[in-house]
Chain A
């Protein structure tokens, strides 16, 4: 299913607020600093180090097929990577294309094919809403760039993913699904600890991710036909990290506010979503993933891994808690006044992710995230929706 071509309408002041909420970093600061780009990191230390590392290496000219929140985030990250330059941005909304292009010194386009023909980019970065990924990735592959980045979730369906993988394989173009959680230092460190046996043999793992409902272009996050709901759009991050850390998933069982209705109601559109997912891994590890787009108390992320010799915990924006918290929407605005959480690192994870891909292309080695990884994460998320729809466990293998 490919709906009409997207037109991305930006709102006032820089990046729209529909920047994807992975940690809250990408969008939350905009609540108080309109127009500021929280992704941008000009830490002198990291730039110097990166410049030294990349000196003498290839230049990469990027063409962006954008323009939701993540498109702007990626564009600004490239601007911070020595050796990378965003040459062109495409948005079917010419005003949006011009605005982003002007802010980063790139050429604006409203037609992807025209852009790719004119610019002949090294990298094509596809950050359009999910159902258009396959169309644009396949188009980009036909122009044979050196590499293609596709925002998560890789595709709306497994067929979409297979189509992209086939097109890129045929064209000989590396395809990099942007499963950015692997580049968040806390998640990478947790995986390293687990693999090093810090908690012994793992018995169970729990993750939590979410905050308020993301408002965006045409409420596309709320349209299940487009976004796949909270499982495919939000907690797919956790599914990818879990699979990366604990191996393949044997079966899932899920209940959600809306996930179960998506199978029978293709027009399903929500303004709040919540899901609770139990996963059984082939290893015997049992997992639990909580995803929320219904928490006015701000964006929060946490996880724990328990094993026979210990317990590992992480919490973002959930400090040692009082025994009771009521986070309620204000009666007049529906929006709660909350402090903006930040957890700054020298190089933000989105930049680290894109830099990894460019480094791999420069060195001629395979990126650490494969197109199959992107597809398997989609498979888990779709199984969650299927489980919720049929009220039974869904086997993945």
Chain B
């Protein structure tokens, strides 16, 4: 029996990738799409050969077991609480929420309703990342000492730069992925954050540069560049990299480096065409399997909350100029 899934909001571009992934999974079915923008619901439903629902309520009344939430960040809580109340398992786009209170409410609502909440951190499913994790877990490299990470990108603009919808700029958008990876491989929680931010890329009222330094609770330290510092002419959207210094060596990850390089006179530029594994598909397969089998999702709402806390701490640090405790 296939797992029947609905999508709540296509506001985030990742929702399109998730919809495509659901359609690729034999034991999953994309039952429909709802969106506060009805036209977008109709267009995307047509694109993914499914039906548009007139409202979130209608979608949740349909015969589905799970939803994917792809809305603007500030709407995650409302949609999550609706879905949980309707008894649907949830895969929620990152960042899980824009405040700790919202994230905690989401986690509580899902627990109360007895449904699973998974945070969409597809980077954990990267095969290169899996190799890194396996090397760390094998003990071959010794303990992790320090990590230098980046999640740089082009500025996505749109609602991502409207704080009332996004909760912030580059820091809240791009801190959470690599923070989650760092938590995952170290098994440690971020205790303190220092951050320098600026808006020198675009000069607008959102931060486009964010350099974080983190201290973990058992001694690892790390920095993370979460900036929207890739120019329009950059050959791809951005990067996820980690340089993990261990007791007995260094592990270097460049997650999205499996590309063809295309020089095109038609577009007048250089672009990278990725050929690596589809990590969104791998993540959706994992979510579908957990829903189907009733097993715990591999990445929880708490994982999403922990990453959000780091991003929020970065804002407090940048504001105060001080090292701040995450909790």
- Residues on A lying within 8 angstroms of B by beta carbon are 199, 201-204, 206, 208, 251, 253-257, 274, 276, 278, 280, 284-286, 288, 290, 292, 294-297, 306-311, 320-329, 336, 391-393
Contacts and interface: CB of A to CB of B under 8 A. Distances in A.
A323 B221 contact: no
B276 to A, nearest CB: 7
Contacts of A199: 231
B252 A286 contact: no
25 contacts: A203-B208, A253-B213, A253-B323, A255-B146, A255-B215, A276-B148, A280-B196, A284-B198, A292-B245, A294-B145, A294-B250, A297-B252, A306-B227, A306-B230, A306-B231, A310-B231, A311-B234, A321-B252, A323-B253, A323-B255, A324-B128, A324-B132, A326-B131, A336-B249, A393-B323
Contacts of B231: 199, 306, 309-311
B162 interface: no
Given A204-B200, A276-B148, A329-B249, 5 more contacts: A206-B225, A285-B200, A324-B252, A324-B254, A325-B251
B250 A296 contact: yes
Contact of B249 (A255, A257, A323, A328): A328
A100 B105 CA distance: 73
B252 A204 contact: no
A26 B245 CA distance: 24
B252 A308 contact: no
Contacts of B148: 208, 276, 290
Most buried by A among B194, B200, B202, B321: B200
Nearest to A322: B257
A202 B200 contact: yes
B149 to A, nearest CB: 10
Interface string B171-209: 000000000000000000000101011101111000011
Contacts of A309: 231
B278 interface: no
B252 to A, nearest CB: 4
A255 B213 contact: yes
Interface in B52-81: none
Nearest to B212: A278
A336 B227 CA distance: 34
A288 B148 CA distance: 10
Contacts of B194: 253, 278, 393
B209 A311 contact: no
A-B interface, 10 closest residue pairs, ranked by CB to CB distance from nearest: A203-B200, A323-B128, A328-B249, A306-B229, A255-B221, A324-B128, A325-B252, A276-B223, A295-B250, A203-B201
Interface string B213-237: 1010000011101010111011000
Most buried by B among A274, A310, A325: A325
Nearest to A260: B221
A310 B250 contact: no
Nearest to A313: B234
Contacts of A322: 254, 257
Interface in B107-142: 126-128, 131-132, 135, 140-141
Contact of A311 (B146, B200, B230, B255): B230
Contacts of B249: 295-297, 326-329, 336
B253 A324 contact: yes
Contacts of B192: 391
A7 to B, nearest CB: 32
Contact of A323 (B200, B222, B254): B254
B71 to A, nearest CB: 30
B248 A286 contact: no
B233 to A, nearest CB: 7
A227 B152 CA distance: 34
B184 to A, nearest CB: 16
A274 B229 contact: no
A230 to B, nearest CB: 12
Nearest to A387: B194
A315 to B, nearest CB: 12
Nearest to A311: B231
A204 B248 contact: no
Given A290-B243, A322-B257, A324-B128, A276 B209 contact: no
B211 interface: yes
Given A306-B231, A311-B229, A328-B141, A321 B257 contact: yes
A361 to B, nearest CB: 41
B47 interface: no
Nearest to A255: B221
Given A255-B215, A257-B145, A284 B128 contact: no
Nearest to A280: B196
A261 B78 CA distance: 48
A327 B140 CA distance: 11
Most buried by A among B131, B276, B323: B323
Contacts of B126: 323
A324 B258 CA distance: 10
A306 to B, nearest CB: 4
A324 B250 CA distance: 11
Contact of A204 (B215, B227, B254, B321): B227
